[in-house]
Amino acid sequence: MSERTLVLVKPDGVSRGLVGEVISRIERKGLRLVALELRNVARSVAEEHYAEHKDKPFFGDLLEFITSGPLVAAIVEGPRAVAAFRQLAGGTDPVEKATPGTLRGDYALETQFNLVHGSDSVESAERELKLWFPDN
């Protein structure tokens, strides 16, 4: 059974020229790109996307960061795509949690600037894909 997940290459990944590296790892894993777009995110979309964190102390900084420049939004598809991309991404803290060999483990140092987003469950993926790709 195929699943779909939302992948974002966050503004740090775009400005550092790591979009190709992220896409390459997605494709090498055997996952498929269904949609891919460079875009600037409206603050309202960012707020809705990260709604679960609205009471966290880092929420304001996170919104500033995610709207600070272009990011890449993608629909990624494949068997267990949600978990498969989370595995490629690595843990949220790129030093304490993400292991070498993962995107965050290899390319990031700070929790906020951790390069990529991937939906954390099939339910989150459904919600996020409706928000980011309403026409798909």
Interacting residue ranges for ligand IDP, rule: CB under 6 A: 58, 62, 92, 111-112, 114, 117, 120
Tokens 């290459």, residue? 9
**Cβ 33 to ligand IDP shortest distance, Å:** 20
Torsion of CA 85, 17, 59, 46, to 10 degrees: -80
State the DSSP H helix or E strand holding residue 47, giving kind and residue range, or none if neither: helix 43-49
Tokens 């498969």, residue? 84
Q: Which of 4, 25, 49, 117 is catalytic?
A: 117
Amino acid at 127: R
Ligand-binding site membership of 114 (annotated): yes
**Cβ 92 to ligand IDP shortest distance, Å:** 3
Ligand-binding site membership of 104 (annotated): yes
Q: Is residue 117 among the annotated active site residues?
A: yes
Say how far apart CA 119 and CA 28 lie, in whole Å. Answer: 19
Say how far apart CA 45 and CA 66 lie, in whole Å. Answer: 10
**Cβ 114 to ligand IDP shortest distance, Å:** 5
Q: Which is nearer to ligand IDP, 62 or 135 (CB)?
A: 62
Q: Which is nearer to ligand IDP, 40 or 92 (CB)?
A: 92
Q: Which is nearer to ligand IDP, 44 or 135 (CB)?
A: 44
Say how far apart CA 131 and CA 112 lie, in whole Å. Answer: 22
Binding residues: 10, 58, 86, 92, 104, 114
Query: Which residues are marked as active site?
Result: 117
